Chain A
């Protein structure tokens, strides 16, 4: 989640202008969010492992979840393979999903492997403690970011206009050729950046609502949440799918950071300063 703040030129240099790209508030929010997301993702996988299946609706369909991580066992009850089932189709995911190696090297039944979860052993109670603590920080941080988005009109930098939408095919071609903007063009987000960042803001909001819908007390206070998500189990599925979407976003985000000048990009998110490469004449 970034936003180019009023892009004031700091100084002109032969290699290009240096501008303030992100306001201090956006930079702080970005890193707090990054820390929270890592903790929430890992503790979330710990919580998911307590019941590693997803169904739609109010209740769990134990016979036919649309997604499940499970282990195949031999006659002694020892896991022999990890199985990921999606809409009834089973995939062998031994070693990563369903069954993975424990500390002693033997195959154990785990939805997600120990190295991906927080804590790094099965402990639902502790996973919940981490999840809810960092969920609060994420929510407070998100409210600060959202207030900035609305009251300081930063939403304008993320909201695509008609010209932006028309330029989508062009932007896709540019991205595929790894042709990054220079000069004045680099002062603003291109349409794909706008859509990606906007989608992340919206995904976080829905993900938090879906998380709250899993709370029986919140459901009593706001029964419309159950209607909105088509039930508690559906909300659990939405929560999981949106987390997956955010992981995919982060992978693309990190790849783009590296491809388009990692030092310059990182500096702009730490100190705010971003060097604009001038267009070739």
Chain B
């Protein structure tokens, strides 16, 4: 298996003596070499990124039944303060105008590889089958907060829209520009696979801690993908598309942070 080839520490063709000497020298040189060679070179990254596929395969196997739920907490566990991160007050003119109108003119556009493209208002989303859950939000930086979320189940929305057979991912396009760039690749977006899209805890949240979602947490609509890290959970969603490949979107790695070196599979 390719997994074994990747992680086997030694090539069998080496003689034992050579191997031992090599490893000894390597161990002595490891702290030094970290200083002297480019730890972020494309060659190094090519090798390092292989771990992501191994992690994803291992975790998908561990999760077994696809419905294994993230732990849910009692109301008393809700964090007194939930840290807002990334964009907290988008200045994009389109968003500012919608916010000033109390999101009355906001509509979620659903398109791409779906049988029935549609535009949904907040009232339409609230009419869809919903789920309320108190879950832990784990940031890639290391911190965690617990909050209550309520929203439309993404699976219900996708069934209503009808996925075409070629659809492999769901892409979320957001209102906020998190980094100023010349080619508009600083606009936030995310993609998730269908396993997570159809997970019962995957919701398009319009409510947090029993109140309408606040601007700092992604009003009017944010994604919750409870078995992954916070950066997958796009805020300020404007449009979603079913797609077969994300290589042609923005910088091609499947999300704003993915384009900046983070893993597409954010289960760890």
Contacts and interface: CB of A to CB of B under 8 A. Distances in A.
A35 B47 CA distance: 16
Interface string B41-67: 000010111111011000100111000
A126 B263 CA distance: 10
A223 B62 CA distance: 12
Contacts of A265: none
Given A24-B20, A137-B9, A34 B27 contact: yes
B209 to A, nearest CB: 14
B35 A120 contact: yes
Interface size class for chain B? 35 or more
A125 B145 CA distance: 21
Contact of B142 (A34, A137, A140, A236): A236
Classify chain A's interface size: 35 or more
Given A32-B23, A59-B145, A125-B260, A118 B39 contact: yes
A58 interface: yes
Contacts of B63: 217, 220-221
Given A27-B20, A51-B141, A219 B59 contact: no
* Residue of A130, A214, A218, A221 most packed against chain B (CB within 10 A): A221
A136 interface: yes
Contacts of A91: none
Nearest to A117: B34
A142 B69 CA distance: 30
A215 B228 CA distance: 8
A216 B226 contact: yes
B48 A130 contact: yes
Interface string B112-144: 000000000000000000000000101111111
B24 to A, nearest CB: 5
B16 interface: yes
Given A214-B268, A217-B228, A60 B73 contact: no
B260 A39 contact: no
A156 interface: no
A132 interface: yes
Contacts of B68: 220-221
Interface in B128-187: 136, 138-146
A232 B149 CA distance: 19
B69 A28 contact: no
Interface string A154-165: 000000000000
A129 B144 contact: no
Contacts of A42: 31, 34
A253 interface: no
A50 B35 contact: no
A123 interface: yes
A194 to B, nearest CB: 24
Given A119-B39, A123-B261, A226-B71, A51 B143 contact: yes
A233 interface: yes
Contacts, number: 166
Interface string B200-243: 00000000000000000000000000111100000000000000
Nearest to A65: B143
Contacts of A136: 6-7, 51, 54-55
B88 to A, nearest CB: 16
Contact of B136 (A58, A212, A222): A58
A253 to B, nearest CB: 13
A147 B267 CA distance: 28
B247 interface: no
B30 A38 contact: yes
B228 A218 contact: no
Which of A24, A125, A135, A217 has the most chain B CB atoms closer than 10 A to its own CB? A217
Nearest to A120: B35
Interface in A200-248: 212, 214-223, 226, 232-233, 236
A112 interface: no
A215 B9 contact: no
A110 B164 CA distance: 49
A24 B228 contact: no
A206 B173 CA distance: 40
**Which 10 pairs of residues, A with B, have the shortest CB-CB distance?**
A217-B267, A125-B261, A51-B142, A215-B268, A31-B23, A60-B143, A133-B51, A50-B141, A119-B39, A129-B48
10 contacts: A38-B30, A123-B40, A129-B49, A133-B51, A136-B55, A214-B268, A217-B59, A217-B228, A221-B59, A226-B71
Interface of A: 24, 27-28, 31-32, 34-35, 38-39, 42, 47-48, 50-51, 58-60, 62, 115, 118-120, 123-126, 128-130, 132-133, 135-137, 140-141, 212, 214-223, 226, 232-233, 236, 266, 269-271
Given A32-B23, A220-B69, 9 more contacts: A27-B20, A32-B9, A38-B30, A50-B142, A60-B83, A128-B140, A221-B63, A223-B71, A226-B71
